[in-house]
């Protein structure tokens, strides 16, 4: 399979670049910038993209590009920092012009023949985010576009198949960005758009069979999109070797445990063991308020429950299936990207696990997982269910998790989902839910002073959870949600709406 490697220089956008390449139906993988040229060459990539990054190419310790990379004959596209590092390595000149470019910027073609910009408007809007600029293109490269402060915003050497762009073609704010990437992939790398969900499934099935052989497998089934698709995919690969274990940790939404059991027995037709462990999780979470500790406690307890099931009922099970996705891995931290939070199925796993992980979705984004689910024939209520964190409502309670707070949040959250569904907005928002801060606020109800919990409503729009914007819900929907929560959930006397995007915030509160 032809692969394009995205060399990660520490920018969160590196993941978005990989996703955009996949949208062009070309497979991509992220690799760290400190891989040697020999290691990169050994991967035999069809193309290489150098990502942006937070550093200046002149700062001490900034990652550099080995000039030998450009002697391999592999097409290379440098983006932002990647373009600057590329220009520096090839003998061009990078400087701080005194004027930075951040946000929407007008890019103008120079009129020189261009592989990247062919067929696009002579002037277009692009998204910039830089202080330094390439002020002199490397020898042999032709400047094909510039901006007011970036004299070599795009340079190209079609003979050596080397290309550099100062702007970010991977973001939605660059309207023709996908066209630029397609030009690099299809013309620059001579690739065909053959990476499809059908090929993804075939590769994953083969990988699972190769990993597990004839061994028994247990699946950590939560009922969410990720674990559901993972279960269906592994079931296609190994059939009756798979047993799904659904742990009801008492942190699920209203009616969810019953729905999960009914849905998976009916649609997946696999062995399902339902473990009711709410008391155990609550006991472990007692007095825990730190978000990271919560996730680690829940992750470890999950694993221990699975190990016990494997020992007591599936003595020969050696593998554990999890629905880990790419954003889970990235946000839990890599050597080049800071840890945003530990996901229960990545940073929260104990080191002494007795089960070996099987993660068939580990390199996929959420939208890709949904398409895989549709291709596998899963019902719409599974595939298009809103994302729900593995640690459940525990990470939507800011403070200690108690049975009382869970009951309040569960009731409020049910109202949120019911009203969003009633308004026909379920497919328009990425996630919509309630958050319960463990504080009290003063209110007045029935001419009496109250001292109850507030609830924060969170609704966001997104494509892949790497970035998100707050949803502009109609006022009348917000009003219905607020009125119902305050009137129908005793103990809650105030509703607020979170209008923070990601970044700077995260989708979840903890």
Whether 164 has a pLDDT exceeding 90, the answer reads yes
Q: Give the integer Cα–Cα distance in Å for 268 and 244.
A: 10
pLDDT averaged over every residue in the chain: 88
Verify whether residue 80 is a known catalytic residue.
Answer: yes
- 3-state secondary structure (DSSP) of residue 322: coil
Q: What is the pLDDT of residue 463?
A: 76
The last residue of a domain, from among 188, 214, 231: 188
Higher per-residue pLDDT: 130 or 241: 241
Which helix (H) or strand (E) segment holds residue 165: the answer is: strand 162-165
Same domain assignment for residues 237 and 378: yes
With 0-12 / 13-18 / 19 or more C-beta atoms within 10 angstroms meaning exposed / middle / buried, residue 111 is exposed
Same domain assignment for residues 321 and 430: no
Same domain assignment for residues 135 and 243: no
Report the candidate in 247, 240, 248 with the shortest Cα–Cα distance to residue 217.
240
Structural domain contains residue 507: no
Structural domain contains residue 37: yes
Verify whether residue 168 is a known catalytic residue.
Answer: yes
Q: Give the integer Cα–Cα distance in Å for 42 and 442.
A: 64
The last residue of a domain, from among 163, 188, 213: 188
Q: What tokens appear for 501 in the block? A: 């995007």
Report the candidate in 330, 1, 33, 28 with the shortest Cα–Cα distance to residue 170.
28
Same domain assignment for residues 178 and 227: no
Same domain assignment for residues 433 and 300: no
Q: What is the pLDDT of residue 282?
A: 95
The last residue of a domain, from among 188, 207, 235: 188
Same domain assignment for residues 133 and 61: yes
Structural domain contains residue 335: yes
Report residue 271's pLDDT band, with 50, 70 and 90 as the boundaries: confident
DSSP type of residue 160: T
Q: What is the pLDDT of residue 365?
A: 84
pLDDT in tens, 216-249: 898 878 778 888 899 999 999 999 899 988 888 9
Higher per-residue pLDDT: 60 or 464: 60
Q: Give the integer Cα–Cα distance in Å for 505 and 359.
A: 28
Report residue 44's pLDDT band, with 50, 70 and 90 as the boundaries: very high
Structural domain contains residue 506: no
Structural domain contains residue 249: yes
Which residue is catalytic, options 33, 101, 156, 168? 168
- Beta strand 356-358 with 317-321: parallel, antiparallel or unpaired? parallel
Whether 358 has a pLDDT exceeding 90, the answer reads yes
Whether 251 has a pLDDT exceeding 60, the answer reads yes
Which residue is catalytic, options 24, 80, 141, 219? 80
Q: Give the integer Cα–Cα distance in Å for 252 and 13.
A: 32
CATH number, domain at 217? Answer: 3.40.50.620
Same domain assignment for residues 177 and 82: yes
Higher per-residue pLDDT: 364 or 115: 115
What is the share, in percent, of the chain residues with pLDDT greater than 90? 59
Q: 257 is in which domain, residue-wise? A: 197-383
DSSP string, 214-268: T-EEEEEE-SSHHHHHHHHHHHHHHGGGEEEEEEE-S-SPTTHHHHHHHHHHHHT
Q: What is the pLDDT of residue 347?
A: 43
Which residue is catalytic, options 156, 170, 331, 419? 170
- Measured in residues, the chain has a length of 510
**Spatial contact of 134 and 94, defined as CB atoms under 8 Å apart:** yes
- 3-state secondary structure (DSSP) of residue 203: helix
Higher per-residue pLDDT: 38 or 355: 38
Task: Give the contacts of 497 (CB within 8 A, at least 6 positions apart).
Answer: 456, 457, 459, 473, 478
Report the candidate in 180, 190, 260, 251 with the shortest Cα–Cα distance to residue 223.
260
pLDDT in tens, 468-508: 899 999 999 999 999 999 999 999 999 999 999 998 888 99
Higher per-residue pLDDT: 223 or 391: 391
Residue 508: C-alpha distances to residues 58, 220, 284, 389 (Å): 37, 22, 22, 8
Higher per-residue pLDDT: 448 or 2: 2
Q: What is the pLDDT of residue 447?
A: 53
Whether 350 has a pLDDT exceeding 70, the answer reads no
Report residue 109's pLDDT band, with 50, 70 and 90 as the boundaries: very high
Whether 341 has a pLDDT exceeding 50, the answer reads no
Structural domain contains residue 502: no
Report residue 445's pLDDT band, with 50, 70 and 90 as the boundaries: low
DSSP type of residue 187: I
Whether 330 has a pLDDT exceeding 70, the answer reads no
Structural domain contains residue 395: no
Q: What is the pLDDT of residue 98?
A: 67
Q: Give the integer Cα–Cα distance in Å for 63 and 71.
A: 19
Higher per-residue pLDDT: 448 or 189: 189
CATH number, domain at 137? Answer: 3.40.50.880
Sheet with 123-136, strands from edge to edge, namely: 27-32, 3-8, 47-50, 76-79, 162-165, 154-157, 142-146, 93-109, 123-136
DSSP type of residue 201: H
pLDDT in tens, 178-230: 999 999 999 999 999 999 999 999 999 999 999 999 998 988 787 788 888 99
The count of structural domains within the chain is 3
CATH number, domain at 414? Answer: 3.30.300.10
Same domain assignment for residues 229 and 326: yes
For residue 93, the tally of other CB atoms under 10 A from its CB is 13
Whether 443 has a pLDDT exceeding 80, the answer reads no
Structural domain contains residue 108: yes
pLDDT in tens, 13-42: 788 899 899 999 999 988 999 999 999 999
- Beta strand 76-79 with 47-50: parallel, antiparallel or unpaired? parallel
pLDDT in tens, 407-419: 999 999 999 999 9
Verify whether residue 440 is a known catalytic residue.
Answer: no
Whether 71 has a pLDDT exceeding 70, the answer reads yes
């Amino acid at each position: 399979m032809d692969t394009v490697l995205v060399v990660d220089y520490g920018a969160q956008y590196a993941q978005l670049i990989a996703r955009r390449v996949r949208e062009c139906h070309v497979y991509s993988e992220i690799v760290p910038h400190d891989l040697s040229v020999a290691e990169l060459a050994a991967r035999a990539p069809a193309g290489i993209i150098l990502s942006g990054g937070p550093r200046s190419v002149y700062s001490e310790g900034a990652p550099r590009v080995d000039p030998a990379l450009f002697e391999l004959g592999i097409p290379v596209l440098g983006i932002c920092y990647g373009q600057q590092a590329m220009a520096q390595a090839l003998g061009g000149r990078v400087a701080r012009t005194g004027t930075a470019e951040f946000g929407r910027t007008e890019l103008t073609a120079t009129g020189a023949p261009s592989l990247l910009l062919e067929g696009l408007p002579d002037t277009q809007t692009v998204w910039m985010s830089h202080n330094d600029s390439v002020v002199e293109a490397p020898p042999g490269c032709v400047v094909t576009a510039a901006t007011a402060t970036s004299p070599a915003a795009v340079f190209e050497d079609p003979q050596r198949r080397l290309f550099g762009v100062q702007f970010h073609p991977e973001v939605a704010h660059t309207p023709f960005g996908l066209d630029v990437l397609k030009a690099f992939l299809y013309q620059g790398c001579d690739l065909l758009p053959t990476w499809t969900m059908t090929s993804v499934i075939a590769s994953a099935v083969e990988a699972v069979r190769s990993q597990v052989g004839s061994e028994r497998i247990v699946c950590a089934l939560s009922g969410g999109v990720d674990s559901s698709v993972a279960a269906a995919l592994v079931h296609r690969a190994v059939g009756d070797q798979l047993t799904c274990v659904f742990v009801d940790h008492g942190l699920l939404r209203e009616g969810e445990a019953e729905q999960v059991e009914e849905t998976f027995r009916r649609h997946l037709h696999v062995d399902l063991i339902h473990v009711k462990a709410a008391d155990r999780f609550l006991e472990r979470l007692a007095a825990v308020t730190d978000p990271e500790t919560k996730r680690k406690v829940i992750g470890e307890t999950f694993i221990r429950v699975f190990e016990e099931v494997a020992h007591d009922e599936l003595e020969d099970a050696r593998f554990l299936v999890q629905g880990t996705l790419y954003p889970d891995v990235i946000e839990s931290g890599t050597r080049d990207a800071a840890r945003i939070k530990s996901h229960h199925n990545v940073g929260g796993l104990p080191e002494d696990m007795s089960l070996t992980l099987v993660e068939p979705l580990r390199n996929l984004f959420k939208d890709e997982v949904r398409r895989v689910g549709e291709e596998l024939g899963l019902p719409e209520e599974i595939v298009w269910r809103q994302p729900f964190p593995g640690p459940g409502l525990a990470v939507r309670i800011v403070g200690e998790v108690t049975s009382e707070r869970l009951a309040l949040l569960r009731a409020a959250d049910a109202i949120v989902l019911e009203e969003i569904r009633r308004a026909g907005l379920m497919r328009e928002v990425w996630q919509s839910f309630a958050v319960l801060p463990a504080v009290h606020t003063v209110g007045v109800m029935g001419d009496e002073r109250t001292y109850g919990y507030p609830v924060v409503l969170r609704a966001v729009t997104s494509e892949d959870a790497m970035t998100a914007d707050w949803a502009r819900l109609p006022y009348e929907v917000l009003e219905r949600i607020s009125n119902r929560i305050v009137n129908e959930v005793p103990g809650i006397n105030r509703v607020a709406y979170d209008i923070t995007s990601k970044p700077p915030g995260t989708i979840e509160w903890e």
